Amino acid sequence: MSIQSALNTALTSLNVLSQQTSVISNNIANANTNGYVQEDLPQSALVYGGVGAGVTAGQVQRLADESAAASANQANSASAYSQQMVSVLTNYTNVLGQATDSSSLPSVLSAFDTALTTLSNTPGDATAQSQAVAAAQTVASTFNGLSSAIQTAREQADQGIASGVNDVNSILGQLSQNQAAMLSASAQGQSTASYQNAQDKLLSQLSNDLPIKVTPDGSSGIMVSTDEGTTLLDGTTTYNLSFTPTPDIPNSMQVTADPSTGMTSGLSQVTVNGQPIQMSDSGSIAANLQLRDVTLPAFANQLDQTASNLIIAFQQEDPTTATSGGASLFTVANGAALTPGDPAQVTGVAGSIEVNPAFVSSEGGQSWKISAGGQATAPGGASDNTTVLAYIGALSKSESYDTSSGLPASMSVLDASTQLAGLQQSALTNWTSTNTNNTSQAQAAQTALSNATGVSVDDQMQRLLIVQQTYAASAQVIETASSMLNSFLTTIQQ
């Protein structure tokens, strides 16, 4: 090798080593940056006429792991789904309470049962009558409160869908812009590492809202779809989600009307190009759809069935209404009675159940009706507890329930209240357990991704030490070559 060749080789080495130092320094600086992927600078030999002439650097490359990234995004979607289920159900069950809480539905029904038992011993006692009516009002208001809490939770879920859709559309826009910039950089022979880092961060954010699948599009770009095939991004072309939020969602409202059960329509679906989005039960949007359209309506149905059976049981056991019809102690709006066996009258009852105004003195009624019956025109005998005992029996009377809601086919109102409280609390318990597991898996997947693509400062420092040693060796070659040239020039001059 000639002196000139050695000098050129050493100079190209110094140039590449300088670039490697910059890449390593950048890796170390971003060691704790979330989503940063370790970078490397490939190098190759320079050959002219079959003779080595040094080294040259390629473009900076990311040491990415697409499989680990996909697993992390998948686990993140599952965790986001269960977390949203827990969040909304926690808000509702805080109102529901445990069955043993004094304000829970089972407890207030039990307290009403106790008030009736006390009244049965002295049916003509005005104080006991007023206390029994007050206990009945607490039962009605508890049903109302729970129905309202379900409505609030459904509205919270609907607002969550709207927020998620806005997030998705914003992220898709950013991905499109990033794709365009990355393709432009690639076309100009520039490194695309920074754009790929930005892309990975955006995809991770997107997986929080939707379960996604990412595939190359054949032109250095990507195509993003849901895991069940709805296209969201194709290169730089975005396919935005559409959704119309509903600010007020009564428990009778669903996506599709069903007049036979009293259900009305009015809820928006999430669509892409006018078609419902196709995706698995993963991501926060899917969780909010499940809550709004399935889980919480089932809770409302359990509550409505229990409330309607309470009204009907009292109508049927009240001696003054059993044969003549009409309203008894519990009614819906304006003292109306219910028709047994009509499913359309069940929907929304928990939100409208009230104590018959005819029993409430503050509403122009008479509290003695609690001892005489809903259609009585005069107080009964002071010791006649027939009606009160019938009311006690109404609470323990077996009524039919629609098992599709998760309730047993036949049980008393007292048992139904305990059943629904247990079922609804267990839903939160189950999702809390699932979320703990999903969160753990998401953390493990993120750790695996970090181990595969993240920066080890120790490794980078070792690489930097090797670069420094190589740099020193190349500098020594230059110094030696320079000394040899100087000696050669001195010899010539002599």
Better-predicted residue by pLDDT, 66 or 2: 66
Share of residues in the chain with pLDDT > 90 (%): 66
CA proximity to 251, closest of 340, 150, 352: 150
Pair 67, 213: CB distance under 8 Å: no
205-230 average pLDDT score: 91
pLDDT for 492 equals 75
Q: Please state, rounded to an integer, the average pLDDT across all residues of the chain.
A: 89
pLDDT over threshold 70, residue 10: no
Do both 354 and 421 map to the same domain?
yes
Query: Which range among 12-21, 45-54, 369-378, 424-433 shows the weakest confidence by mean pLDDT?
Result: 45-54
Say how many residues make up the chain. 494
Judged against a pLDDT cut of 90, whether residue 168 lies above it is answered with: yes
Using left for φ > 0, alpha for ψ between -120 and 50, and beta otherwise, residue 132 falls in alpha
Q: Which residues pair with 212 in a beta bridge?
A: 226
Residue bearing tokens 């529901």: 96
| Residue 294, both tokens | 């399935």
Contact 386, 120 (CB under 8 A): no
23/489: higher pLDDT: 23
Tokens of 478: 């230059």
Phi/psi for 322 (5° steps) reads -60, -40
Between 39-43, 144-148, 155-159, the lowest mean confidence (pLDDT) is in 39-43
- Tell whether 265 is covered by a domain: no
Q: Is residue 192 part of a domain?
A: no
E strands, 221-313, where?
A: 222-226, 231-234, 237-238, 241-242, 271-272, 275-276
Residue 292 and residue 153 in one domain: yes
State whether 432 and 473 are in the same domain: no
Question: For residue 320, is it within any domain?
Answer: yes
State both tokens at 328: 């008894």
Q: Do 130 and 8 belong together in one domain? A: no
pLDDT at 462: 79
409 with 304, same domain: the answer is yes
Q: Alpha helices of 275-385 — where are they, by DSSP H?
A: 284-290, 296-317, 349-352, 369-372
Phi, psi values for residue 267, rounded to 5°: -90, 140
Q: How confident is the model at residue 440 (pLDDT cuts 50, 70, 90)?
A: very high
Residues 86, 39 within the same domain: no
211 domain residue, yes or no: no
**For residue 160, pLDDT beyond 80:** yes
With tokens 């357990």, the residue in question is 433
Decide: 198 and 171 in contact? Cβ < 8 Å: no
- Number of independent structural domains in the chain: 2
DSSP 88: H
Whether residue 394 is found in the same domain as residue 486:
no
| Mean pLDDT across 475-490 | 66
Kindly report, residue by residue over 367-382, the tens digit of the pLDDT.
Answer: 999 999 999 999 988 8
Taking the C-alpha atoms of residue 265 and residue 129, their distance in angstroms, rounded to an integer, is: 43
* Judgement on whether residues 120 and 40 belong to the same structural domain of the protein: no
Do 431 and 460 lie in one domain? The reply is no
Interhelix angle 413-453/105-121, nearest 10 degrees = 160
54 domain-assigned:
yes
Q: How far apart are the first and last CA of the chain?
A: 26
Residues 51, 83 within the same domain: no
Read off the pLDDT of residues 277-323 as tens digits, 9 standing for 90 and up: 999 999 999 999 999 999 999 999 999 999 999 999 999 999 999 87
The predicted model gives 231-249 an average pLDDT of 95
Residue 351 lies in a domain: yes
The model carries a pTM of: 0.87
In a domain, 238, yes or no: no
Average pLDDT over residues 198-218: 93
Note the pLDDT of residue 380: 87
Does residue 292 sit in the same domain as residue 373?
yes
Task: Label residue 43 by pLDDT band (50, 70, 90).
Answer: confident
Residue 355 has pLDDT above 90, yes or no: yes
pLDDT tens, 67-125?
Answer: 999 999 999 999 999 999 999 999 999 999 998 999 999 999 999 999 999 999 999 99
What value, to the nearest 5°, has the Cα angle with vertex 223 and ends 217 and 225?
A: 145
Q: Which of 442, 467, 482 is the last residue of a domain?
A: 442
pLDDT at 482: 67
pLDDT, one tens digit per residue, over 399-428 is: 999 998 899 999 999 999 999 999 999 999
37 and 87 part of one domain: no
In a domain, 125, yes or no: yes
Its domain, for residue 386, covers 75-162+282-442
| pLDDT over 80 (residue 47) | no
Contact criterion met (CB below 8 Å) for 460 and 40: no
